[in-house]
């Protein structure tokens, strides 16, 4: 009886999430009516700093700034995410430009107090002597590029690729292999927005599709496909994002991880705050649906290193499920220290 009740609660939760997802998408991805700031922006951009740019380039740059919310006629404070969009807008004028997407970092040492499970690797390679170190190196490389700009004067189309690797660098007994590498290509439409909600500026909305897998075979194979939305809000040095998704169904014969949504859920929340050059961020995932039993929390802090402004020290803490594809159903309690090149803010 208790099991049936839990199942009914989960079905209601998923239905509510789906209804909210559709409603928010419909309201957020319809462009708001905005004043025509294009001429004001172009006028403000004309000067010695931009004298090498053509009128067409200035027009495109201003369109991107207005769409991203970073141009407001000087009437209000530019928020941190709007500034990030402004920087992207300047770079998309260059053909075939690769820009940072998610944070790019390396954790020189990442220690998991709950131990990584070697059983899958022992079964895959028929070797019962395989042992995994609790301390490894981890790094993430994430880039994006614009595909189409100002489509129907409404949205821009982007593509991105994120690689996250888990490297048993200190495990010399098995030749320091990569324990896991997750590949994440995605494509999304990025919509302009200038709405206000509870004192926050809705600086961008996105709708996309993403594939994630570990490129393995046999018992180690993991993958899934999702459609997602992302709603970004900011105010001053604070940014907040809500990212719900829907997993695209697979046939039971091809599905390597049919219960992955039981651990990774249907949404993530992000929050970040920038103080001077320090960035504090948090990620919260799937805690409500799993009744705080299978969720995940990730906390991070980046800080400048002496006089080197572009290389920052980085501390990242993760507790919960879904740290990697191979261990999505294993609890991980890990803290890592290293360097970060590009952050969320």
Choosing from 115, 176, 211, 319, which is the catalytic residue? 211
Degrees, nearest 5: CA angle 278-102-165: 105
Burial class (CB in 10 A: 0-12, 13-18, 19+), 126: exposed
CA angle (86, 88, 89) in 5-degree steps:
60
Alpha-carbon span 267 to 210, nearest angstrom: 14
Cα–Cα dist 37/149, whole Å: 18
Q: Which residues contact 235 (CB under 8 A, 6 or more apart)?
A: 79, 199, 200, 201
Residue 67 is classified by DSSP as: H
| Catalytic residue check, 211 | yes
Q: Would you call 115 a catalytic residue per the annotation?
A: no
Catalytic residue among 44, 150, 176, 213: 213
The whole-angstrom separation of Cα 48 and Cα 52 is 8
Residue with tokens 């690689």: 163
Hey, which residues are catalytic here? 211, 213
């Amino acid at each position: 009886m208790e099991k049936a009740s839990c199942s009914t609660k989960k079905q209601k939760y998923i239905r509510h999430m789906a209804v909210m997802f559709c409603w928010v998408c419909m309201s957020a991805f319809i462009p708001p009516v905005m004043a025509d700031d294009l001429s004001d922006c172009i006028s403000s951009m004309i000067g010695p700093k931009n004298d090498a740019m053509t009128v067409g380039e200035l027009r495109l740059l201003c369109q991107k700034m207005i769409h991203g919310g970073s141009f407001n006629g000087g009437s209000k404070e530019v928020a941190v995410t709007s500034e990030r969009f402004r920087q992207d807008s300047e770079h998309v004028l260059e053909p075939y430009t690769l820009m940072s997407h998610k944070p790019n970092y390396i954790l020189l040492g990442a220690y998991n107090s709950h131990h990584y499970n070697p059983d899958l690797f022992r079964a895959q390679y028929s070797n019962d002597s395989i042992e995994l170190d609790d301390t490894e190196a981890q790094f993430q490389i994430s880039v994006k590029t614009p595909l189409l700009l100002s489509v129907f004067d409404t949205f821009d189309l982007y593509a991105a690729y994120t690689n996250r690797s888990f490297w048993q660098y200190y495990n010399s007994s098995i030749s320091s292999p990569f324990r896991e590498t997750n590949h994440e290509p995605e494509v999304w439409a990025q919509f302009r927005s200038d709405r206000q909600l509870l004192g926050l500026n809705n600086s961008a909305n996105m709708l996309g599709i993403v594939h994630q897998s570990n490129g393995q075979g046999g018992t180690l194979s993991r993958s899934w496909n999702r459609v997602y939305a992302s709603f970004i809000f900011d105010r001053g040095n604070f940014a907040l994002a809500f990212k719900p998704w829907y997993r695209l169904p697979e046939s039971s014969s091809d599905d390597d991880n049919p219960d992955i949504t039981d651990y990774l859920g249907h949404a993530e929340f992000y929050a970040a705050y920038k103080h001077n050059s320090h960035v504090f961020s948090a990620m919260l995932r799937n805690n409500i649906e799993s009744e705080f039993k299978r969720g995940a929390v990730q906390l991070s802090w980046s800080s400048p290193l002496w006089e080197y402004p572009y290389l920052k020290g980085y501390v990242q803490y993760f507790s919960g499920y879904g740290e990697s594809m191979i261990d999505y159903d294993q609890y991980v309690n890990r803290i890592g220290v290293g360097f970060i090149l590009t952050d969320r803010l």
